[in-house]
Amino acid sequence: MSPVMQTTGLPAAPPVRDRSLLVATGFGVAATVMYFAGLFGIYFSERSDVRDAGGAWIPSDARIELTPPGMIMWTLIISVFVLQWAVYSIKRDDRQHGLLAIGAALSMGAMVVVQSAWQFQQMGLVADESVVSVLIYTIAGSYLAAVIVGMVFIALVGFRALAGQYSSGQTDGVVAASIYWYTLVFIYFIIWIGVFIAK
């Protein structure tokens, strides 16, 4: 007679969470990077052509100062640590600190928006038929739109965390929002160096 197999009484393994949000964020990040890579390619190519012809890329009456983009860059660098704090807190079921970090990240995003708007006003570039004006405003405006999308993403994650939908067992939303935001920080680093410092 064959021995009768007995069950051990162990609980069933929890179902594996769907990673669709992280996959969708990966596609969104790839699309954002490709979009800005195209803009940078056009910008650097046009600037190189103008300089090779002996012309000045930035008009003499324009005021592109380094202080506003420098402040934006430092704000974004600090926001990386703040968002990582949010991820760390949610992974440890510390919702209070996670929400505090999400709120601080949103405040830093608002700082970037305000500083960018102020920079647009003081630059002195008019978006007319001049290539430099169109390209700089296109790059900076596109980045500002991407930051607003990132802030909406973080706010939605914050509301879901407030409702208790994110915990140590489900962190994909907070991680996805942080990945998108880290990509924006990397893109602004290129804008800061390539557009504003090496103008």
Mean pLDDT of 50-60: 78
What pLDDT, on the 0 to 100 scale, is given for residue 17?
Answer: 62
3-state class (DSSP) for residue 167: strand
The tens digit of pLDDT for each residue in 133-176 reads 888 888 999 999 999 999 999 999 888 887 777 666 677 888 89
What pLDDT, on the 0 to 100 scale, is given for residue 14?
Answer: 64
What pLDDT, on the 0 to 100 scale, is given for residue 66?
Answer: 85
Buried-exposed string 130-160: b where 16+ CB fall within 10 A, e elsewhere: eebbebbeebbebbbebbeebbebbbebbee
What pLDDT, on the 0 to 100 scale, is given for residue 129?
Answer: 62
3-state class (DSSP) for residue 170: strand
Give the separation between CA 71 and CA 151, rounded to whole angstroms. Answer: 18
Complete domains list, the chain, with CATH: 22-40+66-121+131-197 (1.20.120.80)
Give the separation between CA 46 and CA 70, rounded to whole angstroms. Answer: 24
Q: How confident is the model at residue 16 (pLDDT cuts 50, 70, 90)?
A: low
Quote the mean pLDDT of the chain: 85
Question: At CA 143, angle to CA 159 and CA 176, rounded to 5?
Answer: 35
Q: How many CB atoms lie within 10 A of CB 123?
A: 19
Beta bridge mates, 167 = 170
Q: Is 124 left (phi over 0), alpha (psi -120 to 50) or beta?
A: left
What pLDDT, on the 0 to 100 scale, is given for residue 197?
Answer: 87
Query: pTM to 2 decimals?
Result: 0.84
Give the separation between CA 140 and CA 145, rounded to whole angstroms. Answer: 9
What pLDDT, on the 0 to 100 scale, is given for residue 8?
Answer: 62
Contacts of 106 (CB under 8 A, 6+ apart): 151, 154, 155, 158
**Residue 189 or residue 17, greater confidence:** 189
What pLDDT, on the 0 to 100 scale, is given for residue 35?
Answer: 96
Percent of the chain clearing pLDDT 70 (strictly above): 86
pLDDT at 6 over 60: no
Give the separation between CA 27 and CA 30, rounded to whole angstroms. Answer: 5
Percent of the chain clearing pLDDT 90 (strictly above): 45
